[in-house]
C-alpha cells in the first residue's frame, strides 16, 4: 500500500530565519525519492514539517486528501499513523531491548494482544536482518544494527510512507550499501512511498526513482533520477560529484569572487579534492534481491516518466531510454532494439547545455496502453 504526497508552496522559517520557501513537489505513490542538500539547508526540518512535527508558515502537504498543515489535531494524529520515520540516530530507547523498542508503537497506538505484537515484531526484525538480536540493548549493538532496529520500529504500523533522515550517517560504505539494498527490498515487499534525506552520493545515484535538492532556501530541482544525474545545474553537479569547485561553500553559498578564485586555482592545475572522475551519468538503479517481487513503484514510474519523456532534457531522455528492455522499448514505441546493458550516459566534453525547445520526435514516448508485455503490471 502506498500514498501520494502532494506538497505545494511549502514555506518555513524560524523567527526571521527563512529555512526554505515555496517548495512544491509530489512524491509519487510507491516510488523512492531522495532529497539532497548541503548541511543546514533544512532537510530535517522538511521531514518534520511533512509529519506535522513542525508547522510550516504557509503552503500545503496533502496526503490521502488531508492537508496536514491545516487539518485538525485529530486528523493529524490519524494521518501520522501512515508514516514510519527512521530518525538519524535510530531514536531508540536506551533502556529497552530491541524487542521492546520495536514493540513500542504497537503498544502505544494499537490494542493488539501481546501474541500478535510478538508476531509483528519478530517479522519486522527478520525483515531488517535482526533475527536473534531482540534481547540486546541499543548500547550493545553496532550503529548499523541500530539503524536497522530503527527501521524495524518504523515498519511495525505498516506505514504507507517511510521517511528516512540520513540512514547512512555513521555507517561505513559497505554497511551503507547493505542499507541501500534493504530500502529497495523493503519497497519491493511493502510498496511504501519512501523519502530519504542523505548526503551519500552513492546512495543518491543508485537507490531512488526521483531526486531533489534543496539549496539557497529553495528546492533547486525535483524529478526523475535521470534528470538530476545528468544535470548541468552547477549546484547539483557540484554536490553529486562531491567537489569543492562550485556554488556550495564550507559554511554557506559562495560569492562570485570566491568562485572565480577557485576556478582559476583548478585551471592552474591544482587538485580540487576529488578523484578527478566526472561522476555525471545514469548508473543502473538497484533492483530487489532475487526471489523478491518486482517493485510496483518502478513499474508505475516507467509509465509516468515515459508520459513526460518529451518534456525532459535530451540527455535525461537518453538515460531513461537506455535503461529500458527491448520489450519496454517496443511497448513505449521508443528507440531501436537494445544492444547491451544500460550504460552510463557518456558525456561529451565539453558538454552542451540542454536547450529548451522541441526534442527529437523519435525519442518521444507515446502514452502507454494497458496490457503490459510479460504481465506483472499492477
Ligand atoms: N526547532 C528549531 N528552532 C529553530 N531553528 C531550527 C529548529 N530546527 C532546525 N532549525 C534550524 O534550521 C536550519 C536547518 O536545519 P536542518 O537540521 O533541517 O538542516 P539539514 O539540512 O537537515 O542539515 P544536516 O544535513 O546538517 O543534518 C538550521 O539552521 C537549524 O539551526
Q: What is the CATH number of the domain that holds 153?
A: 3.40.50.300
Q: Are residues 124 and 241 in the same domain?
A: no
Q: Are residues 112 and 159 in the same domain?
A: yes
Q: Which of 18, 19, 163, 167 to mutate to test the pocket of ligand 1 (most atoms within 8 A of CB)?
A: 19
Domain edge (last residue) among 223, 246, 279? 279
In a domain, 113, yes or no: yes
42 Cα to the center of ligand 1, angstroms: 5
217 Cα to the center of ligand 1, angstroms: 12
Nearest CA to ligand 1 atom 26: 39
Q: Which of 42, 54, 204 to mutate to test the pocket of ligand 1 (most atoms within 8 A of CB)?
A: 42
Q: What is the mean pLDDT of residues 7-12?
A: 96
56 Cα to the center of ligand 1, angstroms: 14
94 Cα to the center of ligand 1, angstroms: 24
In a domain, 43, yes or no: yes
Q: Is the dihedral of CA 199, 227, 8, 31 positive or negative?
A: negative
CA distance 35 to 219: 9
In a domain, 269, yes or no: yes
Q: What is the mean pLDDT of residues 289-308?
A: 93
**Domains contained in the chain, number:** 2
Q: Are residues 187 and 256 in the same domain?
A: no
Q: Are residues 159 and 272 in the same domain?
A: no
In a domain, 124, yes or no: yes
Confidence of residue 276 (pLDDT cuts 50, 70, 90): low
Q: Identify whether the C-beta of residue 163 lies closer than 8 Å to the C-beta of residue 195.
A: yes
In a domain, 26, yes or no: yes
For the whole model, what pTM was predicted? 0.81
Is the pLDDT confidence value at 209 over 70? yes
Q: Are residues 201 and 123 in the same domain?
A: yes
Q: Which residues, judged by CB distance below 6 Å to any ligand atom, belong to the binding site of ligand 1?
A: 14, 19, 37, 39-45
In a domain, 65, yes or no: yes
Nearest CA to ligand 1 atom 25: 39
Q: Identify whether the C-beta of residue 35 lies closer than 8 Å to the C-beta of residue 213.
A: yes
Q: Are residues 274 and 177 in the same domain?
A: no
In a domain, 304, yes or no: no
Q: Are residues 94 and 143 in the same domain?
A: yes
| Other Cβ atoms closer than 10 A to 317 | 27
192 Cα to the center of ligand 1, angstroms: 26
C-alpha cell at 355: 536547450
ipTM, two decimals: 0.97
Q: Are residues 130 and 170 in the same domain?
A: yes
HSE, CB side, 13 Å, CA atoms: give it for residue 1.
9
| Cα 30–chain centre separation | 11
Q: Identify whether the C-beta of residue 285 lies closer than 8 Å to the C-beta of residue 323.
A: yes
Q: What is the pLDDT of residue 266?
A: 61
Q: Are residues 161 and 87 in the same domain?
A: yes
Q: Residues of the chain with pLDDT > 70: what percent? A: 78
Q: Are residues 144 and 261 in the same domain?
A: no
Is the pLDDT confidence value at 55 over 90? yes
What do you get for the CA distance between the two ends of the chain, in Å?
12
CA distance 25 to 336: 33
Is the pLDDT confidence value at 359 over 70? no
Q: Are residues 171 and 25 in the same domain?
A: yes
In a domain, 44, yes or no: yes
Higher pLDDT among residues 342 and 41, named by residue: 41
Query: What is the residue range of 179's domain?
Result: 5-215
Nearest CA to ligand 1 atom 5: 14
CA distance 278 to 101: 43
How confident is the prediction for the chain on average, in pLDDT? 82
Q: Are residues 36 and 119 in the same domain?
A: yes
Amino acid at each position: 500500500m502506498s500514498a501520494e504526497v502532494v506538497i505545494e508552496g511549502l514555506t518555513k522559517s524560524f523567527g526571521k530565519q527563512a529555512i526554505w520557501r515555496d517548495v512544491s513537489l509530489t512524491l509519487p505513490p510507491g516510488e523512492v525519492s531522495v532529497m539532497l542538500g548541503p548541511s543546514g539547508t533544512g532537510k530535517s526540518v522538511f521531514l518534520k514539517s511533512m509529519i506535522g512535527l513542525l508547522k510550516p508558515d504557509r503552503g500545503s502537504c496533502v496526503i490521502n486528501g488531508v492537508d496536514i498543515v491545516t487539518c485538525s489535531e485529530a486528523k493529524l494524529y490519524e494521518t501520522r499513523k501512515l508514516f514510519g520515520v527512521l530518525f538519524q540516530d535510530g531514536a531508540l530507547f536506551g533502556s529497552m531491548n530491541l524487542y521492546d523498542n520495536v514493540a513500542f508503537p504497537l503498544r502505544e497506538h494499537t490494542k493488539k494482544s501481546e501474541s500478535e505484537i510478538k508476531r509483528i515484531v519478530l517479522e519486522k526484525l527478520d525483515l531488517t536482518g535482526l533475527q536473534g538480536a531482540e534481547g540486546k540493548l541499543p548500547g550493545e549493538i553496532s550503529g548499523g544494527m541500530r539503524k536497522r532496529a530503527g527501521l524495524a520500529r518504523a515498519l511495525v504500523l505498516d506505514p504507507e510512507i517511510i521517511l528516512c533522515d540520513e540512514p547512512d550517517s555513521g555507517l561505513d560504505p559497505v554497511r551503507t550499501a547493505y542499507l541501500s539494498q534493504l530500502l529497495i527490498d523493503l519497497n519491493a515487499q511493502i510498496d511504501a512511498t519512501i523519502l530519504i534525506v542523505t548526503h551519500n552520493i552513492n546512495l543518491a545515484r543508485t537507490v531512488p526513482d526521483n531526486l531533489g535538492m534543496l539549496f539557497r532556501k529553495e528546492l533547486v530541482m525535483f524529478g526523475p533520477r535521470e534528470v538530476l544525474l545528468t544535470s548541468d545545474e552547477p549546484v547539483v553537479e557540484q554536490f553529486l560529484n562531491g567537489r569543492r569547485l562550485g556554488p556550495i561553500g564550507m559554511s554557506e553559498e559562495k560569492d562570485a569572487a570566491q568562485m572565480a578564485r577557485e576556478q582559476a586555482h583548478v585551471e592552474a592545475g591544482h587538485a580540487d579534492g576529488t578523484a578527478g572522475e566526472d561522476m555525471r551519468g545514469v548508473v543502473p538503479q538497484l533492483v530487489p534481491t532475487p526471489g523478491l517481487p518486482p517493485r510496483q513503484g518502478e513499474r508505475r514510474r516507467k509509465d509516468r516518466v515515459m508520459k513526460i519523456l518529451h518534456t525532459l532534457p535530451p540527455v535525461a531522455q537518453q538515460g531513461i531510454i537506455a535503461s529500458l528492455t527491448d520489450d519496454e522499448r517496443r511497448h513505449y514505441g521508443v528507440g531501436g532494439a537494445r544492444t547491451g546493458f544500460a550504460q552510463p550516459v557518456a558525456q561529451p566534453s565539453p558538454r552542451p547545455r540542454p536547450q529548451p525547445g522541441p526534442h527529437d520526435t523519435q525519442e518521444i514516448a507515446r502514452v502507454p496502453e494497458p496490457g503490459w508485455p510479460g504481465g506483472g503490471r499492477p
